[in-house]
Amino acid sequence: MISFETSPHLTVWRALLALAVVFVMLATTGWSAVRGHRETTALQASLSAWEHGRLHGHRLPAPDASPARLSRFFASLGAQDRSRLARRYPLAVGNMNGAPVKLRYQANRIALRQAREAELKRMRDSRLTPAGQQEAGRRVHRYTALMAKDRQILAFDPEGTGRVAEVFGDLRTAERISVVVPGVDTHLLTFQRTYRPYSAPHGMARALYKAERTVAPGTRTAVIAWADYTAPSGVGMDAATAMRAKEGAVRLNRLLHGLPGASSVALFCHSYGSVVCGLAARGLPHRVSDIAVAASPGMRVEKVSQLRTSARVWAMRDATDWIQDVPYLEFGGLGHGADPVSPAFGARVLSARGAKGHAGYFEPGTDSLTNLAEIGVGAYGSVRCAHDDDRCRADLSGMTTAEHA
């Protein structure tokens, strides 16, 4: 039974769940129906142009063909033809799973430049409100930063609040690949922050990459900051349902099935990102060896076995994280299921000492970041379990890096 002496966060979530019930009822009676014609987005236009395009008189493969099919197509082309396609269809190629990663970086740099030019015009458009011009200016600043010479942008879509994915390290030669899946309020303008940088996807992935290189200097690693799904905005009704997570899970699996090579992949899922990972679990490629969730509101299941994955599942939560006050339940599509750090769930529970709150799990110097890095490089024997998780310690005592690298 939940005590009536609740925290403000628990009270808010109860109210949101009640509102969500009303929202669902209104939706089923047509009150929330969205009417009107949606304009074609820049990405859709680029994909459509690709579908109708030709190279040397030959039709191009479908943009949604399997990553293996697209990989074979690009491998059959010379460097000049690949670059020609990137210039003609930058958004299509830049977001195409199966295209060579360096070509995607090249295409997204072109797409970013085009998006930046469009926002520069918007900044000077007198028809826009001051707030609209200010947002255009923030986008110009973000695009300029993403275009820096050393940045490797694996995916980019300027539509709406925007989506982006960035790579640290070399995906083509990495022996271990890590993917950071963030939670609510993730979009282009929050992808990187100056204040509290390790609470944003860019800072999370950058910190993880550095930590992995510290714990295993001889291991070639790559980390992806994956903000390539439309995350919920704030702790609202979207965050209380799996609507955004379902679409995110499909996009995440497309990314994973299109990664180059055959090296092991680990998923690091923060907050609502763990809902995405939970829904993606049964469709993951076998190369995904680990799923680690931090600050999770649930993974849409009651226990690990229901995820239907061969990947090891890890969970952590700092004692100061307000997410522990959220009701761990799922009813009528609301809520996200059992608590991943509860003994009944069956995950290996890790120490998160030093994380301090909901957004501190990737802060340098914390047990949480070190644990995530050790999982990322396969150094399981060095992982620190939560003090009260005897199962985790028993499992780790029989695991070695050599057995599971």
Q: What pLDDT is stored for residue 400 in this prediction?
A: 56
3-class secondary structure for 262-296? CCEEEEEEECCHHHHHHHHHHHCCCCEEEEEEECC
Sign, CA dihedral 164-170-171-177, equals: negative
Determine contact, residues 277/313, Cβ cutoff 8 Å. no
User: What's the longest Cα–Cα distance across the chain?
Assistant: 71
Q: What pLDDT is stored for residue 28 in this prediction?
A: 34
Q: What pLDDT is stored for residue 17 in this prediction?
A: 53
Determine contact, residues 234/184, Cβ cutoff 8 Å. yes
Q: What pLDDT is stored for residue 333 in this prediction?
A: 84
Low-confidence ranges of the chain (pLDDT < 70): 1-38, 400-405
Q: How far is CA 275 from CA 27, 180, 334, in A?
A: 23, 13, 12
- Report the helix count and the strand count for the chain, using DSSP H and E: 14, 10
User: What's the rounded Cα separation, in Å, for the pair 233 and 92?
Assistant: 26
Q: What pLDDT is stored for residue 38 in this prediction?
A: 58
Determine contact, residues 263/245, Cβ cutoff 8 Å. no
Q: What pLDDT is stored for residue 29 in this prediction?
A: 32
Sign, CA dihedral 18-24-25-31, equals: positive
Exposure on the CB side of residue 4, measured as CA atoms within 13 A:
0
Position of tokens 């999982």? 375
Q: What pLDDT is stored for residue 26 in this prediction?
A: 33
Q: What pLDDT is stored for residue 396 in this prediction?
A: 80
Q: What pLDDT is stored for residue 3 in this prediction?
A: 37
Q: What pLDDT is stored for residue 67 in this prediction?
A: 95
C-alpha gyration radius of the chain: 22
pLDDT digits (tens, 9 = 90+) for 226-269: 999 999 998 778 888 989 999 999 999 999 999 999 999 999 99
Determine contact, residues 396/235, Cβ cutoff 8 Å. no
Q: What pLDDT is stored for residue 327 in this prediction?
A: 87
Q: What pLDDT is stored for residue 34 in this prediction?
A: 37
Alpha helices of 181-263 — where are they, by DSSP H?
201-215, 237-240, 243-257
pLDDT digits (tens, 9 = 90+) for 66-96: 999 999 999 999 999 999 999 999 999 999 9
Q: What pLDDT is stored for residue 95 in this prediction?
A: 98
Single-letter residue type at 263? S
Q: What is the pTM of this model?
A: 0.89
